Amino acid sequence: MSPARRAVAAAKEPPRLRAVLWDLDGTLTDSVRLVVETMNSVIAAHGGPLLPYEKVGELTGLPLDAMFRLAWPDISPSEVEGYRVEYRTRYDAVAIPATRLYRGARTVLRDFHTAGLLQATVTGKRAADCERILRGLGIKKDIDVYLGGDSAPRPKPAPDLAQYAMSRLGVSPQESVVIGDSAADLAMGRAAGTHTIQVLWGFSRSPLRDAQHSVRTWRELRAVVSALGGPKPGILGRGGPLRS
> 79 pLDDT exceeds 70?
yes
Taking residues 59-76, what's their average pLDDT? 86
> 23 pLDDT exceeds 80?
yes
pLDDT of 61? 73
pLDDT of 144? 97
> 14 pLDDT exceeds 80?
no
pLDDT of 58? 78
pLDDT of 67? 86
> 18 pLDDT exceeds 90?
yes
pLDDT of 9? 43
Order of strands, edge to edge, in the sheet holding 19-22?
145-147, 118-122, 19-22, 176-180, 195-199, 213-215
- In tens, the pLDDT along 169-188 reads 999 999 999 999 999 999 99
Q: From 215, 231, 234, 228, select the one nearest 105 (Cα to Cα).
A: 215
State the CATH class of domain 32-98.
Answer: mainly alpha
> 237 pLDDT exceeds 90?
no
> 244 pLDDT exceeds 50?
no
pLDDT of 66? 85
pLDDT of 231? 57
Taking the domain 16-31+102-236, which CATH number applies?
3.40.50.1000
> 146 pLDDT exceeds 70?
yes
More confident residue, 14 or 25: 25
Taking residues 208-212, what's their average pLDDT? 96
Sequence ranges of the chain with CATH classification 3.40.50.1000: 16-31+102-236
Sequence ranges of the chain with CATH classification 1.10.150.240: 32-98
CA pair distance 67, 37, nearest whole angstrom: 12
What percent of the chain lies above the pLDDT cut of 90? Answer: 75
pLDDT of 206? 92
> 76 pLDDT exceeds 90?
yes
pLDDT of 109? 97
CA pair distance 41, 31, nearest whole angstrom: 15
CA pair distance 16, 232, nearest whole angstrom: 11
Confidence of residue 5 (pLDDT cuts 50, 70, 90): low
Could you give the dihedral angle defined by the CA atoms of residues 97, 36, 182 and 71, in that order, rounded to the nearest 10 degrees? -140
pLDDT of 3? 55
More confident residue, 4 or 213: 213
- In tens, the pLDDT along 130-140 reads 999 998 999 88
Measure Cα distances from 115 to 11, 16, 34, 144, 222 in Å.
23, 13, 32, 14, 12
Q: From 78, 70, 63, 61, select the one nearest 40 (Cα to Cα).
A: 70
Please report which helix (H) or strand (E) contains residue 142, including its range. Answer: none
